[in-house]
Structure 1
Amino acid sequence: MDKLNLTVVARNAALFRLPFYNSLAEKGAQIFIVCTKDHSAIKDLLNPNINLVSARHVLGLCFPSKPVVSHQGNKVVVAFNIELMPWVAYKFGLKNVFLWGIGYGNNRVGNIVRSLIISKSRGLISYMPSGLRLAGERREQSSFLVNSVFVKNPPVESMVDPLSKKLIFIGSLDKRKKVDLLLRAVSILREMGEDYTLEIVGDGEQRNSLEALAQALELKEVVTFHGSVGLHELKMKIFRGALLCIQPGQAGLSVLESFSFGVPVLTYRHAVSGGEIDNIKDGVTGFFYEKLCPIELALTIMGLSQKPHEISRVADNALRYFKLFANGDRMVERFIESVK
């Protein structure tokens, strides 16, 4: 196989992204991960040809502590990070670089800065279609790929049980995910005589306070905190027989992870990340609720549970969507196509 004439520079590496980098490295791409934190835990999980480069911060900007080797005429893709941009401009020249992953946010000034940087670059590879709003004059050279997760063997059929009262949350336990709202909604449902259970997959700064809230709401017997779950097989076991995956606040990649099990997502209509905006079509691949209110969420959950045929139809659509458009292998293919 011909070596892929591609150099990719990223800042740090989340666990879910490692298969993506490894796949590119196997195809011959040069990969540099600029590390601003300890990455010893993932070193053994990376392709040996991937370069980990330590970095230092100066006045809020990030500079690799040793030179990244020449890209040797390769096309260069840089995972967008404001802190890296001065170094990228010096090292490669912005006009020679594709920026990858930049998204449209709620901060108007931030969007103006991002648009300006994109206008000086070679083009934009957005995580989601909505991100292309920032491409401006570079839109023709720009493209998107569905930001996704790698699943080796997605189930043949949806794992949903439309008659179940088992709910799932998956993601980091931080304020923007609003898991406290979900706990209060489950409490309301139980006060209404509806015996829902909740499986929480993930960890974060709010875990202790959320466990305390579950206990205060007398939900200890029906809410399970699994912590971070790395094994796909264990996640499959947790998702099997669920009714819905509930993402009460911002959801992001959790949407596609749930889709990979054929479990539809219920989330807030006005969330801002591409996971919701671009992947969920209400009543087609998932569902929205209208207000950040536990009563509204509880009533929406109860209403959907009374429509088992609709749950089954949307679950099948979600799994089909993941397999056709959002699996990790397809992400690699579109990434390579975007820079050819």
Structure 2
Amino acid sequence: MSANIRVLLLMNRIASYRVACYNLIAKKVDLTIGYTDKDDDPRQGDYNRICLPTWRIGHWRIQKPGFRSLCKQYDVVIFVGDLHSVNYCLLPWMGGPFKTAVWCMGIRASYTKIYDIKRRHTIIDWVYGLMLRKSDACIFYMKEPLKFWGDAIDYNKVFVAINTVPVSYVDHCTPRKNVLFVGTLYRGKGIERLLNVYNQVLLDGLLPPHLDIVGDGEEREALEGKVKNSALCDYISFHGAIYDEDVLGRLFATAIVCVSPGQAGLTVLKSMGYGVPFVTSEGAITGGEILNIVHGYNGMILSNDEDWRRLVVQITTTPEVFGEMGRRAREYYLKSATTEKMASGVLSAIEYTLVAHP
């Protein structure tokens, strides 16, 4: 692919975890990222960037005059598929000379709307589908949403760029014996549920594995108070938020599993990248990342509190089971979920728009 191809990538924010992917794309094309909300990349990646003048009306974003003229300077415009970003989603109808590609989960989902490819279509889904069909290419995080759309979308123009994160994997050769949680501490994560399970294991006369909790959030003070004033204090440590990947890597190196009862987001991929099986619950909040887990093979998806209690007991009695799961999780990450795979999916979509729609 020619480095002379000019690509504009329109996002709401430049997320730091995607910088490695953006840099890989920028090695193949002349990449500019336009954003409206926030630039989380203090290192100034290997691409150009533009903060887009934007009007905000509640949750809606509307670009100020000059937006279409900006897009016309590029060969391909890739945009995030968020219906709240009105001008982004109208791009497929604006007319050339640029080609368009929408980059999204492939199905509408959020913290309040579960990721469900079996649910019934709504009027908003119909609108979303119009945008997908009108775009020259679609870039999905996973292939599974194709089942939701059926024959409403041309499969030939859909490319997968798995939503993933880079890791700083080092084999520390340390014993893996701890349970690890990484994420923001709010009620939806289900940490209190995990503490209740630990309490039950102690009441059963068993000694649970040590639990390292990494993250800050609105629930941290209450959770720490609950642990401090109970027998759990010897088995649970709070580390606060950690952004240094090397420090996180050392915690993952001692973890036998990484858990999150209520959410299965990008930590699924991070955990797999470090060779640690991820354990979550059926119905967990997800953007599709849970689909990377094959239950009992490279991670676990549990049904109820009794399953969680059995998990804690099994970690203590048969830890070798999780060591093998972790090995397979690492293999899966290297084969299917690296940032190189993510960038490759985006580049394939760019090439398709230029070849299939010259």
Matches within 5 A, 1:141-160: 141-151=157-167, 153-155=168-170
Corresponding residue SS for 2:246 = helix
Indicate if the aligned counterparts of 1:264 and 1:318 stay in contact, CA closer than 8 A.
Answer: yes
Indicate if the aligned counterparts of 1:111 and 1:134 stay in contact, CA closer than 8 A.
Answer: no
Cα–Cα, structure 1 residues 45 and 90, in superposed 2: closer, same or farther, change >3 Å?
closer
Deviation at 1:144, TM superposition (A): 1.4
Indicate if the aligned counterparts of 1:184 and 1:217 stay in contact, CA closer than 8 A.
Answer: no
Deviation at 1:325, TM superposition (A): 1.0
Of 155, 161, 170 in structure 2, the residue corresponding to residue 139 of structure 1 is: 155
Of 339, 343, 347 in structure 2, the residue corresponding to residue 328 of structure 1 is: 339
Greater Cα offset, 250-259 or 176-185? 176-185
Match of 1:70? 71
Letter of the structure 2 residue corresponding to residue 150 of structure 1: P
Match of 1:239? 252
1:319 aligns with 2:330: yes
Corresponding residue SS for 1:299 = helix
Cα–Cα, structure 1 residues 270 and 48, in superposed 2: closer, same or farther, change >3 Å?
closer
Distance 2:224 2:155 in 1: 46
Letter of the structure 2 residue corresponding to residue 154 of structure 1: Y
Matches within 5 A, 1:76-225: 76-89=77-90, 93=94, 96-104=99-107, 105=109, 106=114, 109=122, 110-135=124-149, 136-151=152-167, 153-155=168-170, 161=176, 164=177, 166-192=178-204, 193-225=206-238
Match of 1:251? 264
Indicate if the aligned counterparts of 1:239 and 1:263 stay in contact, CA closer than 8 A.
Answer: yes
User: Aligned residues, how many?
Assistant: 332
Distance 2:127 2:234 in 1: 49
Corresponding residue SS for 1:149 = coil
Distance 1:322 1:70 in 2: 35
Deviations 1:180-237 (A, max 9, x none): 2112222222333213211112223322232233334443343222222221110111
Deviation at 1:156, TM superposition (A): 5.3
Distance 1:160 1:97 in 2: 49
Distance 1:92 1:248 in 2: 42
Greater Cα offset, 112-121 or 326-335? 112-121
Cα–Cα, structure 1 residues 91 and 66, in superposed 2: closer, same or farther, change >3 Å?
farther
Greater Cα offset, 74-83 or 126-135? 126-135
Q: Runs of 5+ in structure 1 lacking a partner? A: none
Deviation at 1:253, TM superposition (A): 0.8
Indicate if the aligned counterparts of 1:124 and 1:132 stay in contact, CA closer than 8 A.
Answer: no
Cα–Cα, structure 1 residues 115 and 176, in superposed 2: closer, same or farther, change >3 Å?
farther
Cα–Cα, structure 1 residues 66 and 15, in superposed 2: closer, same or farther, change >3 Å?
farther
Cα–Cα, structure 1 residues 140 and 188, in superposed 2: closer, same or farther, change >3 Å?
same
Cα–Cα, structure 1 residues 60 and 242, in superposed 2: closer, same or farther, change >3 Å?
closer
With structure 2 as the length reference, what TM-score do the two structures score?
0.82
How much identity, in percent, do the aligned residues show? Answer: 22
With structure 1 as the length reference, what TM-score do the two structures score?
0.86
Q: Runs of 5+ in structure 2 lacking a partner? A: 352-358
Distance 2:283 2:160 in 1: 22
Indicate if the aligned counterparts of 1:252 and 1:274 stay in contact, CA closer than 8 A.
Answer: yes
Corresponding residue SS for 2:255 = coil
Cα–Cα, structure 1 residues 189 and 159, in superposed 2: closer, same or farther, change >3 Å?
same
Letter of the structure 2 residue corresponding to residue 280 of structure 1: I
Cα–Cα, structure 1 residues 94 and 204, in superposed 2: closer, same or farther, change >3 Å?
farther
Letter of the structure 2 residue corresponding to residue 64 of structure 1: Q
